[in-house]
Amino acid sequence: MPPPSQPARPTPKQSDLFGVEDVAVPSQAGTRVARVQLEGAAAMELDYAIPEEMAAKVVVGSRLMVPLQNRRMNAVVLELLDESPHRGKLKEIASIIGQRPMFTPGLVKLARWIAEYYVVSRHQVLRTMLPQAVRDKPGSFVMDSHLKLVKEPAPAEFEKLRSKAPMQARVLDILRSYKGEATLSQIRQDVPRVATILKPLLKAGWITRSEVRVERDPFHDEQFMPSQPLTLTEEQQAAYDRILKVIESPEKAKPILLHGITGSGKTEVYLQAIARVIERGGTALVLVPEIALTPQTIERFKARFSSIKDRIAVLHSNLSEGERHDEWFKIHEDRADIVIGARSAIFAPLERLGIIIVDEEHEPSFKQDETPRYHARDVAVVRGSLEKCVVLLGSATPSLESFENAASGKYELLHLTQRTDGRTLPLIRIVDMRMERRKGTGTSVANAGILSEKLRAAITARLEKKEQTILFLNRRGFNTSLTCLGCGETVQCQDCSIPMTLHKHENRLVCHVCGSRRLPPSKCPSCHEPGLKFTGFGTERVEAVVREVFPQARVARVDTDTIQRKNQLRDLLREFRAQKIDLMIGTQMIAKGLDFPNVTLVGVLNADLALNLPDFRAAERTLQLLVQVAGRAGRGEVKGEVVVQTYAPHSPAVQFSRHNDFEGFAQQELEQRRAFHYPPYTHVVLLASRGKHDAMAEFALQTLHRRLLEGLPEGVIMGEPAPCAMAKAHGQFRFQLLLRAPKIRPLCRHIQQVIAATKLPEDVIVTWDVDPVSLL
């Protein structure tokens, strides 16, 4: 189905649909037929005859080149048939792309499920499964020359060579230092023009030369100290033993939810479970939600599996296109036993899959925010079922969907309630910032309302003890808004309905949605009065205040404004671990998963940021973030402390996080969800329209709302069309419609049918999101 915003394409001729051409091969009984999914604009499923010489090579998951009308297109084999159900003649496959199938049979089945569940075309899913670097340039490997020293000249001959051709002698010396074998690139570091002086050495028979493929390894310059398995606690051992039983017989096993408090040793359980899978000849897939977690996770895995560290592959957005290309082919060619990555790594073409681990499974970043809008955690559960492997979901604060699945018996629940080595959870102190403001706390005007008296004293104590501190604020910039004191208007982005944020280091107002920049105005854009006031604060201002209040401290800031170059985050976190930084200020990039033993204090500067968002998950997200960031403290020998600054100290999310009582919060929150028919007791579909003209975008959604009412499946609760919380973004006005249903597929079929039968304005785009994680 073409996107609603685009005019429908002309219907192809019947002959085109079935791959018929003027000169074709007759379809005969017994002739094998490939049903393929075309890529590109003509995303259709067609049948093609398999030439006899390709019969043994064309399998489910193969990527092909096939003829269509007067051109050739890429396609993926979905299934093999003995003959086509279509009468007539079939075109033959033109060629096969690659030496091996680009998709495993399991991934082809998974693509079908994703397409049906999230109501997207299978073409879009298969396209998402292949990284762009692989899809566009499947053979763009870097080649290099491999030089081998096969015979050394006699001593007298070598001395003669050294006097007459010193650079040739130098090449031989370098090869000796590399134990007789090296690449041209390695020798070029010492002999820049080595390629021009190889011919005499080759002719003399002293060396041989062959072409080799060079891996673009993102960790080629890294050194990892081997580590040994740790002794498990009683709780860890019980969880590990149960996981082992599932590894031994995963056919009918349920997904496992490992609910372990921060610092309880979930990662050690993961590592030992993976070791067992590798021993059995299987492979492992590990998903982490944040790029910030990837360096530390990779370091742990490379250290633990040092004997096979070259068989660990990494897939995430921080890699260069070339690195991603080579890492994917490393997996594709069965040269990787363990894959670590972010959301899209769920599509890694691993075979013999033994375990899939989703760490911090509650994280919203596992949800794709563009078509196909899949959730990697849910896709992991389905892939595990299709490929008969263990699925292990881990979190200190599980999503309420996973927690309810465990409570209802769909998942198996394992608990880790104690920190390792007898360490205790940090002491959490709540600071009511309403009282703090009344007291006028602050050593300067700039500090008022940012650092409470209690937090300043705690930071001072840590600096004196040479201990480290993390300050968390999930908001970038210096000031978060510029308001007119006369008319009360806030300076907003022209293309987005949000206030612009001041970034003082560049003296620009920045929109954090579309990225537009402008100089701060000297007068109000609305009433033209000069009385403008900056309000609110972000990480940049916090850094300025901290440097003012603690001039002796070594301070670093971690957010997307400061982390610009590749590996900068990795290097900064290593400096922090090496205690070259006393105090680190950051956004959610540093809020979870990281382990720094010398951090004994965590300050949460504004715990209320997400509480008042118009989203039924607001309290859940707040509790999860508070528990996760608090868990960064006290992971070493010294007990930790957390200071939470809030204007809503009596909020359930704040109070339950203070006592680390996730189950208490879950019980209360689930009661409300059940009463108001929200997930996990229903499925949600968010239907949205957007366009440059607000009236047209609203009209389109109102039209769909009226038509959806006709034949609405039983039990569906449909709201009214309304502006999105962010009513305008990237120059387009946005409206949304929320639907809740006990069963998702009947509702999705109904939505699809209504949209297909509705002619929408050309400049309006309509999208739908199945099981959205955000309603903003």
Q: What pLDDT was estimated at residue 87?
A: 59
Q: What percent of the chain has pLDDT over 70?
A: 93
Tokens for 260, please give them.
Answer: 């372990």
Of 481, 500, 477, which is closest to residue 585 (Cα–Cα)? 477
Residue type, 330: K
Nearest 10 degrees: Cα torsion 415, 377, 659, 592: 110
Residue 693 near residue 760 (C-beta atoms within 8 A): no
Q: What pLDDT was estimated at residue 2?
A: 39
Residue 7 has pLDDT above 50, yes or no: no
Q: Are strands 312-315 and 283-287 parallel, antiparallel or unpaired?
A: unpaired
Distance CA(365)–CA(63), nearest Å, equals: 30
How far CA 227 is from CA of 219, 284, 317, 394, in Å, comes to: 18, 19, 28, 22
Tokens for 105, please give them.
Answer: 């049979």
Q: What pLDDT was estimated at residue 194?
A: 82
Q: How far is CA 759 from the centre of its chain?
A: 35
pLDDT per position as a tens digit, 717-729? 999 999 999 999 9
pLDDT per position as a tens digit, 580-609? 999 999 888 777 667 788 999 999 998 888
Nearest 10 degrees: Cα torsion 451, 457, 462, 465: 160
Mean residue pLDDT of the chain comes to 87
Tokens for 68, please give them.
Answer: 């269509």
Question: Hey, is 497 helix, strand or coil?
Answer: coil
Poorest-confidence range of 150-164, 438-452, 589-603, 641-655?
438-452
pLDDT per position as a tens digit, 279-329? 999 999 999 987 656 677 888 899 999 989 889 999 987 788 888 888 999
Tokens for 241, please give them.
Answer: 């033993």
Confidence of residue 31 (pLDDT cuts 50, 70, 90): low
Residue 363 near residue 289 (C-beta atoms within 8 A): yes
Query: What letters, b where the CB count within 10 A reaches 16 and e where it falls short, cover 117-137?
Result: bbbbbbbbbbbbbbbebbbee
Q: What pLDDT was estimated at residue 750?
A: 94
Q: What pLDDT was estimated at residue 221?
A: 65
Of 348, 353, 357, 305, which is closest to residue 330 (Cα–Cα)? 348
Q: What pLDDT was estimated at residue 674?
A: 96
Distance CA(350)–CA(334), nearest Å, equals: 7
Confidence of residue 748 (pLDDT cuts 50, 70, 90): very high
Q: What pLDDT was estimated at residue 24?
A: 38
pLDDT per position as a tens digit, 324-349? 888 999 999 999 999 999 999 999 99
Q: What pLDDT was estimated at residue 27?
A: 39
Residue 511 near residue 455 (C-beta atoms within 8 A): no
Question: Hey, is 374 helix, strand or coil?
Answer: coil
Nearest 10 degrees: Cα torsion 239, 240, 245, 247: 120
Residue 678 has pLDDT above 50, yes or no: yes
Higher pLDDT, 505 or 584: 584
pLDDT per position as a tens digit, 612-636? 888 999 999 999 989 988 888 888 8
Q: What is the mean pLDDT of residues 364-380?
A: 95
Confidence of residue 445 (pLDDT cuts 50, 70, 90): very low
- In Å, the largest CA–CA distance within the chain is 97
Distance CA(19)–CA(50), nearest Å, equals: 12
Q: What is the mean pLDDT of residues 272-282?
A: 96
H or E element that contains 143: strand 142-149
pLDDT per position as a tens digit, 155-208? 888 888 888 888 888 889 888 888 888 888 888 888 888 877 888 888 888 889
Residue 61 has pLDDT above 90, yes or no: yes
Q: What pLDDT was estimated at residue 645?
A: 93
Distance CA(374)–CA(772), nearest Å, equals: 9
pLDDT per position as a tens digit, 230-241? 999 999 999 999
Distance CA(264)–CA(283), nearest Å, equals: 25
pLDDT per position as a tens digit, 67-121? 988 889 999 999 998 888 775 678 899 999 988 899 999 999 999 999 999 999 9
Tokens for 532, please give them.
Answer: 């403008």
pLDDT per position as a tens digit, 464-503? 999 999 999 988 888 888 888 888 888 889 999 889 999 9
Residue 592 near residue 395 (C-beta atoms within 8 A): no
DSSP 51-91: PGGGTTT--TT-EEEEEETTEEEEEEEEEEESS-SS-SEEP
H or E element that contains 244: helix 234-248
Higher pLDDT, 665 or 309: 665
Residue 449 has pLDDT above 80, yes or no: no
* Torsions phi, psi for 536 (to 5 deg): 75, 170
pTM over 0.95: no
Residue 671 has pLDDT above 90, yes or no: yes
